[in-house]
Structure 1
C-alpha cells in the first residue's frame, strides 16, 4: 500500500525495530508480522503479533520479546504509548497530532486515498456472470454480477491491473436446444403473418401438418421428437427477429427437422440476440467494460486440442476407466475407456474426462481451453465468481490451472449463494418474462417503482447485494431496500454523505464555492491546509481513526476477495459520522459551522470533507453514485 497507509507504515517500523533486536534473523523471518486494529478499541489504535510469530525463530519467549519491542515502539514520534499484552502482542496508542496529520493527506489525495501498490500492477483476470445465453439473467446472476464487478473495482483500487471478463457458453447441447426453441418461436412468428397463414392453409399436406404443430408446444415436441428445454416469452421477440431477417428461408422444404446449416444459423443469431439482452441488463446494473470471450470461438480456434497437447506433453493425459460415481453401483455403471486428465495429482478427488463418446470436448475440457487462453494472455492471477451450485467444480478447475501453469498462477473462486426476493413479507416467485424465476430486469423495475429514477434503483440493488458475505444466503426485501431508516444500510450511508454535502453547502460563503458532486474534489482539496488543533473531542477523533483505516480495509478486502467488507466499512464510518452530527445538536462546541469561529469551522469542514471523500471512494468501489440530497 502507499505510505499513507498508517498500518503499513507502522508495520515497517515494527519490522525495523525487530531487526535491530534480532540482527541474526533473515528478512523473511518477519513475513508474518501484522499490524491491525485491536478487537477491543480500548486496547489502543493498533496491535501487532510481531513477537508472537518471531519469538520461536528467535528462541525467545514471546512475552519477553514483546516487552523489548514495546519499549522501542514507544520511542517512535507517532506513538503515544506501547504496551505488551497477552502471549506476545503489543498494543499501540497513536498521538493525536499524528492522527490529525492524516486529514490533510486524505484531502490532498482525494479519492486516490487508499489506492494500493503492494500488488505492483500484477495482471489479474476477474471472470464473472458468464451466464449461459439461453434465457434472461435472474437475481442469482444479479448478485454474481455485482460481487464480481465490485471485486474487480476493489482489486483495481488495491493496485492490480484488472481485466473484467465474461465467458460466453455458446457451444454444446444447451445452445443447440436453445436454437430449436427459437426455431419454434420463429415458426409462430411466421404463422402470425398473412403470408404464413396462406402457406399453412394451401401448402402440401406434410407442410400444413408441420406448420400446425408450431402453434402448440406439445404438438411441436411430438413432431420433432424432442422436449423443449427453453421457449419462454423472452424468445418471442427472437422468433420475430428471425422471421424479419430470414422470411420463409428457414422452413424445410418438406417439413421435419431444419438442416444442420439452418440450425447453425438460427443458433448463432439467437445467441447474439440473447447476448444483446444480457449486455443491456448488465448495463442497467452498472456493469460495463467486460471483455467477452466465446466458448464456440475457442473451440473453432483449436484451443481444446492445444490444451490437450500442453497437458499431454506434461504427461497428464491418459486413456483409462473411471470408478463408478458416488451413489452408483457397479451394476448401474457402464465402464468405458476415456481420455482422462490426471486431476488427482493437483488435489482433485478423481481424474476427469476430457472427451465425450462422440469425440467432442466435455464441458470441463472446453473450460480448460478457456483457461489456457487466459494464461496465454499473460495473467498472473485468475479469479472466478460462480454460483454456489458450482461449488463441486472448484477443485477440478484449480487442478487444471495448476497443471497448465505449472503451479505459477493461482485460481481463486468466489461463490455466491442464492437470493430470495421478498415483498410484503412473502417471497416473489414468478417473473413477468421467464415465468419461473425473478429476472434481473424484473428486480430493477420493482425497485425503480419505489424510487425517483432508474439510477437510484441500480445503486440500491448494487449496495444491497454487497451487504452480506457472498457465500451467505440473503433475502432481498423490496420494502426495506428503500426504507429510510438506520436498518437500511443503503440509506444510512447515503444519508451520511448527503449530510456532508449539506454542511459544505451551508459553508459556501466561507469556502468560496458551492459543493456539488462535481465540485466536491476541488472543495475538499481546498481544505487541506486548514488548522486542525481544535479537533479534540473523542467523537471527532474516533471518526478520524476510522478514516485512517480505509487504506488497510482496501488491501485486506482485496486480498481476501471480499468486497462486502467495503459495505461494512462504510456503514461503520457512517455511524461514526452520525454520532458526531447528533452530538453537535446538543453541544454547540461540536457544531460544524460556527459563524464567529472561522478557524474552528474550517477544521470541522476539513473533517466533514475527509469523511465525504472516503465515502465517495468506497461507493466508487461498489459502483454506487453518492447522493447529494436525500428526498
Structure 2
C-alpha cells in the first residue's frame, strides 16, 4: 500500500463531501493535489497542498479551506493530529498502527512491495549503451548500461511495459575505418609485417584477435583483392565479432537487451527515405544556406545550399542539414528514421541514454522526434557524465588490450558485477563519478554498497540465529505477518524503520516519473542507516535486541520488522540489478 497515494485519494473524497455539503464548488480540478512527507519531520508525517491549490477556484482563503479539511481529517481514527501550517498547508500525524501495518504489507507482498500501476501498462522504449561496434565496451559505457538498465527496471516496477534496446551504429565512416583496421590485422595474421599502425586507423590490440579470426576463417582469400571486395567482408566480420564481445560484456554486467536494431539494416530497408519524405510532405524540409557557425571567421566559411530540416520550429537553435555534400544522408537523417521507427513500433515514450559528449545533439533530436511524430512521441535524453577510474586516489592506467581506455570487463573483473552496478548509481547521471577500486571495496559506512549489503547480511544472520534458538518455529515472512503482534514495536528506532519502508512505494513512483534511478541507491542507504542505528542501540540497551530471551512475542515482532527491512532492501537491489548477500566475510 502506498500510504501517500491512499491519503491523496481519501482527501479527494473529503473534498467531494465538502462539495456535496455546499461548502465548496463541485468539479474542482484536483490534478495538482499532492500528499508528501513534510520538509521537516517535526512538522508531521504527511502534508497536503490541497487548500493551497484549490483556494482560488473554491473562492475561499487557503486557511479557511484548510480549516474545512482539518475538521474532516480529525474524524479519522488513523489520524492523531492535524495542523495548518504557513499560508494553508495541512500537516497530519498518523497513529503508530498505520506504520506497523505497512510492515505486514511488506511481508505479504515480498519483493513485489512497491510495485505500482502508475504506468498503466503504457509502453516505454529505453535505448542505452548503443556503443559503436568498433571495440570493447569501456567504463563510461558501463555507466550508461547500468543507468539505462536500472531505469528500465524502475519503470517496469512502476507499471510500464518496457523495451530495452541497443542501437547498433553499423553504418557510416567509423565502421569503414574498422574494416580497414581489421584488414591490416588480417594481413598481419597471415604473416605480413605491417609496421606502425597508420594514423586514422584503430590501434587497439583487440583487433589482432579479429584479424586472426578472419584469417582462420577465410585464409588468404582477400589478399590482393580490391578494397571494394574486402571492405564489406571485413566490416561485417568485425562488427559481428565485436558485437559478440559487447553482448558478452553486457551479460557479465547483468544486462539483457530485448531488441538490437541495426542502423545499416534500417537504411537498407528505405526507412530514411520514408522518414524524410514524411517531413517533406509536411513542409518541414527545404534547401537553404545556413549562417556561419559561431566562432568562424567569414573567410573560413563557404556557404552552400543544403537540404535542411526546420528544427528551429520545434525548439532547436538552428535548422539542421540532412544530406552531406556528396548527397549521402547525415547521421542526423539516419537517427530521425530510427526514432520514427521506434514510434511506429508502438511506443510514444522514448528514452535515450547517451554519453555526455553528445549533449549538443539533444535539442535537434528532440525537435525531430516531435516533428516526425506530430507531437505524439516524447524523447527524454539522459546524459551520463564521465567515470574517473582510480586506485587509492591515482588514475588507473589504460588497458593493454584496448590500447586507449580501460575496458568494462577489466572493471568488472577487478571488483565484481554488483559493486560496479551499485556504485554507478550513487551519483546522478549528469554528475561526474569517481570510481576508486580501493574505496568501492572497503568495508566501511563510507562505502554505500557495503553498508547496504551489510544491513541485509546482518538481518539474514539474525534470522538464522533465531531459527536455531526457536527450533520448529515458522519464521517465514508469511508466518511472521500472520503471527507477529506488531503493537510490541514502540521504540523510536523501530518506528523510524517502519516509516522508511512505508515510503518505498512513493519513492518508486517518484523516481520512475523523474527518470532518476539513483534515488533508489540513496533510499537504500538511508534504510540501511536506520537499521544499523537500531542494531547499535541494541548493543547499548539489551531490551532493544532482536532476540529477547524470555519474551517470544517481542522477539517475533522484531523478527517481522527486520525481515521486512531485508525484503525492501532486496526489492530495491533488484531494481538496481544487484544480488542481496546472505552473509559477509572480511
Q: Give the TM-score of the pair, scaled to structure 1.
A: 0.89
Q: Of 224, 240, 258, which aligns to 1:252?
A: 224
Which residue does the alignment assign to 1:332?
300
Which residue does the alignment assign to 1:162?
162
2:9 counterpart of 1:16: no
Q: Of 200, 213, 216, which aligns to 1:228?
A: 200
Which residue does the alignment assign to 1:186?
186
2:286 counterpart of 1:353: no
Q: What's the offset of the Cα at 1:25?
A: 5.0
Preserved CA contact (<8 Å) 1:419 1:475: yes
Deviations 1:568-615 (A, max 9, x none): 000000011111111112222211112322221111111011101100
Structure 2 portions without partners, runs of 5+: none
Which residue does the alignment assign to 1:368?
336
CA separation in 2, counterparts of 1:423 and 1:549? 37
Which residue does the alignment assign to 1:402?
370
SS in 1 for 2:81: strand
Superposition map of 1:492-503 within 5 A? 492-503=451-462
Q: What's the offset of the Cα at 1:331?
A: 2.0
Which residue does the alignment assign to 1:563?
517
Mean CA deviation greater in 606-615 or 64-73: 64-73
Preserved CA contact (<8 Å) 2:125 2:349: yes
Which residue does the alignment assign to 2:526?
572
Preserved CA contact (<8 Å) 2:19 2:26: no
Superposition map of 1:529-544 within 5 A? 529=482, 530-544=484-498
Q: Of 242, 267, 289, which aligns to 1:274?
A: 242
Mean CA deviation greater in 583-592 or 292-301: 583-592
Preserved CA contact (<8 Å) 1:417 1:473: yes
Q: 1:166 to 1:514 in 2, by over 3 A?
A: farther
2:299 counterpart of 1:319: no
Which residue does the alignment assign to 1:195?
none
2:85 counterpart of 1:96: no
Q: What's the offset of the Cα at 1:381?
A: 0.6
Which residue does the alignment assign to 1:473?
432
2:56 counterpart of 1:53: no
Mean CA deviation greater in 334-343 or 147-156: 334-343
Q: Of 409, 417, 426, which aligns to 2:394?
A: 426
Which residue does the alignment assign to 1:524?
477
Preserved CA contact (<8 Å) 2:203 2:403: no
Q: What's the offset of the Cα at 1:429?
A: 3.5
Deviating above 3 A after TM superposition, structure 1's stretches of 4 or more consecutive aligned residues are 19-28, 509-515
Preserved CA contact (<8 Å) 1:460 1:481: yes
SS in 1 for 2:16: helix
Q: What's the offset of the Cα at 1:510?
A: 6.8
Preserved CA contact (<8 Å) 2:351 2:379: yes
CA separation in 1, counterparts of 2:580 and 2:221? 52
Preserved CA contact (<8 Å) 1:430 1:436: yes
Deviations 1:304-330 (A, max 9, x none): 001012112222111111111111133
SS in 1 for 2:118: coil
CA separation in 2, counterparts of 1:184 and 1:402? 43
Structure 1 portions without partners, runs of 5+: 192-210, 222-226, 448-456, 516-521
CA RMSD of aligned residues (A): 1.7
CA separation in 2, counterparts of 1:325 and 1:21? 61
Preserved CA contact (<8 Å) 1:116 1:555: yes
CA separation in 2, counterparts of 1:9 and 1:459? 35
Q: What's the offset of the Cα at 1:388?
A: 1.1
Mean CA deviation greater in 527-536 or 612-621: 527-536
Q: What's the offset of the Cα at 1:514?
A: 10
CA separation in 1, counterparts of 2:473 and 2:358? 51
Q: 1:326 to 1:499 in 2, by over 3 A?
A: same
Which residue does the alignment assign to 2:252?
284
CA separation in 2, counterparts of 1:364 and 1:180? 24
Mean CA deviation greater in 130-139 or 547-556: 130-139
CA separation in 2, counterparts of 1:402 and 1:514? 60
Deviations 1:94-131 (A, max 9, x none): 11112111111111111111001011000000000000
Q: 1:33 to 1:235 in 2, by over 3 A?
A: same
SS in 1 for 2:154: helix
CA separation in 2, counterparts of 1:231 and 1:178? 10
Q: 1:247 to 1:511 in 2, by over 3 A?
A: farther
CA separation in 2, counterparts of 1:37 and 1:268? 56
SS in 2 for 1:19: helix
Preserved CA contact (<8 Å) 1:166 1:293: yes
Q: 1:413 to 1:513 in 2, by over 3 A?
A: farther
Q: What's the offset of the Cα at 1:22?
A: 4.7
Q: What's the offset of the Cα at 1:442?
A: 1.6
CA separation in 1, counterparts of 2:388 and 2:18? 56
Deviations 1:392-419 (A, max 9, x none): 1111111111112211211111111111
Matched pairs, number: 581
Q: 1:25 to 1:400 in 2, by over 3 A?
A: farther
SS in 2 for 1:115: coil
2:415 counterpart of 1:462: no
Q: What's the offset of the Cα at 1:26?
A: 6.2
Preserved CA contact (<8 Å) 1:134 1:178: yes
